[in-house]
């Protein structure tokens, strides 16, 4: 045992741990830690839905539960936001490095996402019209401009070397990648040209679809949650059309990200593949479940009914759960860490859409009644 503990690998790991622990607390506080507030705030919305949904009145959920969750989310988010604000004041370079990290940059959207959930789950006694409108516009505009800002920053920063070269370089890369089927060269060339042109149209010449990773789902979930907020009866007349706009943007961006991530899965664990995430980030795979379920709930709020389109999105999210079951070995071997908060929000999104489905479904199983 002593010989094992004194190996170079173990000694190097212990030295790294000592260096990490010797750093100031603010440097060790990452933007990913703020994401834990999303799960808590989403829980308050879930319990509020259980309390107010007519189809779930049978369970007789007291309103005090969701209020406790809401206050806990407010306190947790306030503490997390103040800590990261202090980090921004004293360690600007560390925040800048996180902003330009291809994975951590997406977690900055958890700030507005948490605030949106808090606005949806606010107790009725604290809810007023113009405050809700202000928070809706603030979160929605911050998400839209935040995404554009991140693209601009990634374009300007050269230290991270995100460049993918010209169209000709992309064609060479596309044609040299292995595929699951032996497609003709003409088909591969046509696919490569379309991918390269679409990539330059969306991200410019220095970025490509390869820079999209799994946590990028966080940057679009806020569009669906904001659309649900804008569809509330309290502010629907004032912001209803803008909520539809947010939903449209979210759907467009979601399918672009989904196709890119799925393609990375099919290519394999190469450069840019989602399987290249660290082991502790494997729970982030549940981000695949959240967007379709959140989109189904948002579309149901916009239309006022759980229509066929909502069912398609909801069942698509349920299919994603089957894919997660297939990858169960990844989660069993992953040690518990704060990254497991990524499991909570997709579960809540699926639960919210299921609750809305049960309220509009004619199935007896989904309509519990008092005996």
* Complete DSSP assignment for 302-341: HHTS--HHHHHHHHHHHHHHHHHHHTHHHHHTSPP-GGGG
Find out whether 358 and 366 touch, Cβ atoms under 8 Å.
yes
DSSP state of 235: T
Find out whether 349 and 38 touch, Cβ atoms under 8 Å.
no
Q: Can you give the pLDDT at residue 195?
A: 45
Q: How far is CA 113 from the centre of its chain?
A: 9
Distance, in Å, from the CA atom of 63 to the CA atom of 126, rounded to the nearest integer, reads 14
Q: Can you give the pLDDT at residue 7?
A: 39
**Tokens standing for residue 347:** 């579960």
CA dihedral 32, 318, 118, 228 (to 10 degrees): 130
Find out whether 153 and 236 touch, Cβ atoms under 8 Å.
no
Find out whether 119 and 132 touch, Cβ atoms under 8 Å.
yes
Distance, in Å, from the CA atom of 253 to the CA atom of 212, rounded to the nearest integer, reads 11
Angle at which helices 290-303 and 308-326 cross, to 10°: 170
Distance, in Å, from the CA atom of 29 to the CA atom of 45, rounded to the nearest integer, reads 27
Find out whether 77 and 110 touch, Cβ atoms under 8 Å.
no
Give 317: exposed, middle or buried? Use CB within 10 Å, 0-12, 13-18, 19+. Answer: buried
**Tokens standing for residue 193:** 């040209």
What burial letters (b/e) apply to 11-28, b meaning 16+ CB within 10 Å?
Answer: eeeeeeeeeeeeeeebee
What burial letters (b/e) apply to 58-93, b meaning 16+ CB within 10 Å?
Answer: eeebeeebbbebbeebbebbeebeeebeebeeeeee
Find out whether 352 and 297 touch, Cβ atoms under 8 Å.
yes
Distance, in Å, from the CA atom of 121 to the CA atom of 73, rounded to the nearest integer, reads 10
Nearest to 37 by CA among 2, 5, 84, 4: 84
Q: What is the mean pLDDT of each run of 10 residues along the chain (371 residues)?
A: 38 44 81 87 89 77 89 94 92 87 83 91 84 85 77 46 38 40 44 44 49 76 89 77 88 84 61 56 81 90 86 89 78 76 84 81 52 42
Find out whether 367 and 55 touch, Cβ atoms under 8 Å.
yes
Nearest to 246 by CA among 145, 122, 132, 369: 145
Domains plus CATH for the chain? Answer: 25-163+206-360 (1.50.10.150)
């Amino acid at each position: 045992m002593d010989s094992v503990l004194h190996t170079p690998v173990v000694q190097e790991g212990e030295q790294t741990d000592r260096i990490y622990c010797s750093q100031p607390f603010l440097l060790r506080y990452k933007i990913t830690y703020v994401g834990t507030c999303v799960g808590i705030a989403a829980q308050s919305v879930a319990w509020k839905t259980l309390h107010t949904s007519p189809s779930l009145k049978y369970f007789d959920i007291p309103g005090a539960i969701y209020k406790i969750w809401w206050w806990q989310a407010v306190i947790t988010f306030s503490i997390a936001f103040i800590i990261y604000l202090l980090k921004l004041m004293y360690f600007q370079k560390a925040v800048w490095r996180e902003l330009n990290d291809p994975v951590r940059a997406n977690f900055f959207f958890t700030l507005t996402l948490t605030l949106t959930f808090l606005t949806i789950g606010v107790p009725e006694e604290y809810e007023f019209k113009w405050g809700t409108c202000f928070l809706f516009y603030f979160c929605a505009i911050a998400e839209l401009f935040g995404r554009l800002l991140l693209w601009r920053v990634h374009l300007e920063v050269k230290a991270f070397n995100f460049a993918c070269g010209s169209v000709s370089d992309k064609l060479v890369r596309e044609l040299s990648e292995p595929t699951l089927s032996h497609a003709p060269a003409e088909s591969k060339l046509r696919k490569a040209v379309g991918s390269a042109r679409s990539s330059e149209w969306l991200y410019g010449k220095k970025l490509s679809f390869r820079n999209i990773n799994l946590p990028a789902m966080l940057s679009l979930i806020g569009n669906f949650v904001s659309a649900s907020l804008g569809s509330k009866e309290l502010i629907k007349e004032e912001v209803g059309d803008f909520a539809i706009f947010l939903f449209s943007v979210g759907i467009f961006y979601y399918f672009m990200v989904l196709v890119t991530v799925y393609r990375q899965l099919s290519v394999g664990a190469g450069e840019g593949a989602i399987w290249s995430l660290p082991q502790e980030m494997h729970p982030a795979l549940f981000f695949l479940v959240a967007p379709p379920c959140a989109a189904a709930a948002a579309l149901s709020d916009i239309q006022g009914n759980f229509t066929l389109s909502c069912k398609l999105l909801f069942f698509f999210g349920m299919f994603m759960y089957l894919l997660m079951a297939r990858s169960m070995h990844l989660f069993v071997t992953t040690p518990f860490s704060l990254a497991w908060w990524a499991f909570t929000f997709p579960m809540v999104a699926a639960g919210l859409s299921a609750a809305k489905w049960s309220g509009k479904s004619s199935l007896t199983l989904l309509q519990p009644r008092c005996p």
